[in-house]
């Protein structure tokens, strides 16, 4: 009798786990590239925002890698402005950009952890830290109208979503 109870209990647990897996995939499956329900024509970031009922206009802070090399700065700003345009961020709704390295320097091993902690603090407090020593922002950045590089800290009325960028896919190759 104990074996029957054990087998029945295992079967019940497996059925429940399967049900929960189907429920999670139905809710969040659209996030996974190549999964059933994920339309490959929809950008992964747009899918991720959509799961939470958000759009590109809901991104209240962009925490970038910010290596301060000419190639990376040119590529990273171009890439994020293009992504935000592609995701239909409203004109005039520039997202504040903060470079964690301008605040704490370049931590080799802990850079991503520091960056995530800073981004979470911004989302929780609504405060976007200014980019320290950003007195002369490159004129090249002016063409990226969906990005804003504050040199002083900004108190917002709340941040719904933030994006953390640890590196760029261009990997120090300058755009023409």
Residues 16-52 pLDDT 10s: 998 888 777 666 665 555 565 566 677 778 878 887 8
Say what the pLDDT of residue 174 is.
43
pLDDT tens, residue order, the chain (176 aa): 588 888 999 999 999 998 888 777 666 665 555 565 566 677 778 878 887 889 999 999 998 876 666 666 778 888 889 999 999 999 999 999 888 766 666 666 677 788 888 899 999 999 999 887 777 677 777 788 888 888 889 999 999 999 888 754 444 444 43
> Is residue 55 a contact partner of residue 87, using CB atoms and an 8 Å limit?
yes
């Amino acid at each position: 009798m104990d074996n029957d109870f054990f087998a029945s209990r295992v079967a019940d647990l497996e059925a429940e786990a399967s049900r929960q897996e189907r429920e999670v995939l139905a809710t969040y499956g659209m996030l996974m590239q190549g999964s059933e329900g994920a339309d490959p024509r929809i950008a992964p970031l747009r899918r991720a925002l959509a799961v939470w009922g958000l759009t590109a206009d809901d991104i209240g802070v962009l925490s970038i890698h910010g290596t301060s090399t000419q190639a990376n700065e040119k590529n990273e700003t171009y890439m994020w402005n293009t992504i935000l345009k592609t995701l239909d961020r409203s004109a005039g709704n520039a997202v504040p950009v903060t470079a964690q390295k301008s605040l704490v320097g370049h931590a080799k091993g802990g850079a991503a952890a520091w960056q995530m902690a800073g981004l979470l603090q911004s989302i929780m407090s609504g405060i976007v830290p200014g980019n320290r020593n950003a007195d002369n922002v490159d004129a090249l950045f002016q063409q990226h109208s969906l990005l804003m590089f504050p040199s002083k800290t900004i108190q917002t009325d709340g941040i719904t979503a933030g994006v953390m960028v640890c590196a760029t896919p261009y990997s120090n190759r300058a755009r023409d």
